[in-house]
């Protein structure tokens, strides 16, 4: 299997995640799109590890998974808190991303 297809697949997945982040306004869905992006990165790293025959990429995947887990804990706590405070999950993306 040509290694480039893995990179292209993960690149497309990353772009889908990015589009999702820009389109969706529900905080939980938005966060799921971020997870999608992180997974795309994981795929790139694992494929690169195979390409270079080195452990670095695999170790990086390991760390990305740890970071994602930690981020989920804090992120969902923030989301739950805010939901109880104001009763909506709208992060108002159009206002946030007005470049």
Partner 1 sequence: MVLAQDATTLDVPDVAWSSFAPELLLTAAALVLLLVAIARGRQLLVAAPTGVVAVGLGVWLVSTDVVVPGAVAIVWGLALPAAVFAFPHRGSLVQAWGAGVALAGALVLTGWQFVTVLGDGAGGMTPQSALAGALANDGIAFFTRITVYLTALIVLPLGYGYLRDRRINRAEVEPLLLLAVVGMAALGTANDLITLFVALEVLSLALYVLTGLARRDRRSQEASLKYFVMGAVASAILLYGMALMYVATGSLSLPTIGSVVALAGTNQLVSALGLALVTVGIGFKVALVPFHLWTPDVYQGAPTNITAFMAAATKAAGFAAVLRLYLVAFPGLQGLWAPVLAVLAAASMLYGAYVALVQRDLKRMLAYSSITHAGYATIGVVAVTDAGLSGTLWYLLTYAVSTLGAFGCVIAIERRRRGEVALVDLRGLGRTSPAVAGILALCLLSLAGMPPTAGFVGKFVVFQAGIEAGWTWLVVIGVLSSIVAAFFYLRIAGVMFLETADDDRPLPASSLGLTTGIAVSATLVVFLGVQPQAFLHLADAAAALVR
Partner 2 sequence: MTLLAQVAPTAGGTAEVVVFWVFAVIALGSAIAVISLRNVVHGAVMLVLNFLSIGGLFLTLESAFLSVIQVLVYGGAIMVLFLFVIMLLGVDRDDLLQADLRTRVLAIAGGALLAGAVLFAFVGPYTSEASVCGPDAPAPGPGEVACAGLAEAYDEDDGAGARFLGRSLFTTYTYPFELAALLLTVATIGAVILARRRDLEPEDEDLADLDAAAADDLDGDDLDGASGAAAERHVAGDGPGTTERGG
Q: Distance (Å, rounded) from C-alpha 12 to C-alpha 28?
A: 22
Residue 34 interaction partner, one of partner 1, partner 2, none, beta carbon < 5-8 Å per kind: partner 1
As measured in angstroms, the least distance from the Cβ of 10 to partner 2 is 9
Q: Is 9 in the site for partner 1 (CB under 8 A)?
A: no
Q: In the stretch 13-52, what mask flags binding to partner 1 with x, by CB under 8 A?
A: -x--xx--x-----x--xx--x--xx-xx--xx-xx--xx
Q: Is 41 in the site for partner 2 (CB under 8 A)?
A: no
As measured in angstroms, the least distance from the Cβ of 48 to partner 2 is 10
- Angle among Cα 63, 66, 67 to the nearest 5 degrees reads 85
Q: What is the dihedral of CA 70, 73, 75, 80, to 10 degrees?
A: 180
CB-CB neighbours of 91 under 10 Å: 19
């Amino acid at each position: 299997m040509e290694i480039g297809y893995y990179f292209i697949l993960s690149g497309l997945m990353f772009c889908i995640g990015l589009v999702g982040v820009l389109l969706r306004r529900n905080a939980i869905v938005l966060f799921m799109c971020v997870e999608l992006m992180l997974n795309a990165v994981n795929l790139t790293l694992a494929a690169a590890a195979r390409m270079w025959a080195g452990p670095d990429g695999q170790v990086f995947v390991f760390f990305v998974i740890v970071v994602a887990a930690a981020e989920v804990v804090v992120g969902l706590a923030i989301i739950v808190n805010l939901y109880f405070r104001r009763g909506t999950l709208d992060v108002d993306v159009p206002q946030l991303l007005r470049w």
